[in-house]
Structure 1
């Protein structure tokens, strides 16, 4: 039976953020998949650089109001939504004043990456999954784009594995040339812990700083399939896919060029 629902979790979408490989893919691919007959939902962080008035974002009160505890600190979860009219596509935004009010995405005006990017990533993914539960929308495939989404596969295969919304879900993880410079701290594995996540789940990253290669491989370990979304990506990631015999879709061109192949790839997961 073909897949009917695809959840896109991304860190960038054009036109809300400037054009990039991730932003363009996540503008065009969900629309293309929707036009092929699948139902979609799309999420991204509500970075402070996004102009809410111009893009007509508004808060969804019935979905907001939950608090997520990360490293013993409560962080309120705010959900906003906007529409890309030309694509007939809604975009849900995960917001929080502590993490997303600053007028930049993942680094400051001097190009220095924010030291709390690891907590922002944890909050973002947990926020998406909790919102999907509130929506009671059951995806067949979750497709992750960008390193900020790298924890989704772990959470879906552990802490959220028995939830009715996710118990049968398959996970695709896209590879981009989206390296970050500042590794996550050696406390990262303890910060991301939730009920259902054991020491065994995080042993690959426990007690050590987590660089881009480690984080990407950690995401792929819990994914059902990997898609090469850019022509040039990290070689260590490709070697990991081959070594671990993960179901793989090599680079097929732009999002629009690759849409048919990706749509078929979903159905094989």
Structure 2
């Protein structure tokens, strides 16, 4: 049976952020899958260096207004949307003043990675899933692209395994060569817990480095895609030893067809 609804959770999408292989893939893939006849929804963080006026972002009041509690603190969830007219697709943005107002993505202008990146990825993953439920949209496939999305598979498989919107979703995780260099805050193992997730589910995040975060995503995914031509050798070995369906790197002219078939095979 074909999987007809695909939720894309992306770390970056051009034209909202600068062009690179990942942001281009995250721009072209949803359009290509939509043109194959599938329904899509696409999310990314509303990083502070996104030009809202030029890209015509606007808040979706009916979806905003929820608070997410992280480390005993309330953080308002703001949802914005913009349209890529040429692709006839909308992009939803997860926003919050505490996490996404600074004019950078994951590091400052000196290259120093933000100390709260752990909370930012928690907020982003939970925000996407809560907003998808508010849209009353049950995806057949959830495709997570980039390490900033790496907690979404855990939340879907452990916290939302009985939720009618996600109980039957297949999760695909794309691994890229986009490693962060400074370990995430150790507190992530407590902060990431919500109902349905316990210490055991997060024990791999010790330390909370890029390799272990990627392993956590692989453990909670139904299929893995190699998104970059070369990826970390330890991660590549871990994927192959997992025995999970694995799609190796696909060049630009082939990936839409290959990913589409991969979704259907799950």
> 1:33 maps to what in 2?
33
Structural RMSD (CA): 0.8
* 1:226 aligned to which of 218, 224, 227: 224
CA–CA distance in structure 1, aligned partners of residues 178 and 159 of structure 2: 27
**1:88-108 Cα shifts (integer Å, max 9, x gaps):** 010000000000000000000
**1:171-206 Cα shifts (integer Å, max 9, x gaps):** 00001110001101221111100001122222222x
Unmatched runs of 5 consecutive residues or more in structure 2: none
CA–CA distance in structure 2, aligned partners of residues 237 and 20 of structure 1: 22
Does residue 60 in structure 1 map to residue 60 in structure 2?
yes
Q: Is the 8 A contact 1:21 1:176 kept in 2?
A: no
* 1:259 aligned to which of 251, 256, 261: 256
> 1:120 maps to what in 2?
120
Q: Is the 8 A contact 1:77 1:95 kept in 2?
A: yes
> 2:199 maps to what in 1?
199
Unmatched runs of 5 consecutive residues or more in structure 1: none
Measure how far apart 1:209 and its partner are.
2.5
Does residue 96 in structure 1 map to residue 93 in structure 2?
no
- Residue aligned with 2:171, SS: strand
TM-score, scaled to structure 2: 0.98
- Residue aligned with 1:62, SS: coil
**1:98-152 Cα shifts (integer Å, max 9, x gaps):** 0000000000010100000010000000000000010010100000001010001
> 1:246 maps to what in 2?
244
Does residue 166 in structure 1 map to residue 166 in structure 2?
yes
- Residue aligned with 2:237, SS: helix
> 2:133 maps to what in 1?
133
> 2:177 maps to what in 1?
177
Measure how far apart 1:266 and its partner are.
0.3
Q: Is the 8 A contact 2:116 2:185 kept in 1?
A: no
Measure how far apart 1:252 and its partner are.
1.3
The size of the alignment, in residue pairs, is 266
- Residue aligned with 2:202, SS: coil
CA–CA distance in structure 2, aligned partners of residues 178 and 34 of structure 1: 26
CA–CA distance in structure 2, aligned partners of residues 118 and 22 of structure 1: 21
Instruction: Give every structure 1 segment of 4 or more consecutive aligned residues whose post-TM-superposition deviation is greater than 4 Å.
Output: none
TM-score, scaled to structure 1: 0.97
> 1:147 maps to what in 2?
147
- Residue aligned with 1:158, SS: helix
CA–CA distance in structure 2, aligned partners of residues 152 and 6 of structure 1: 14
Moved more, 208-217 or 87-96: 208-217
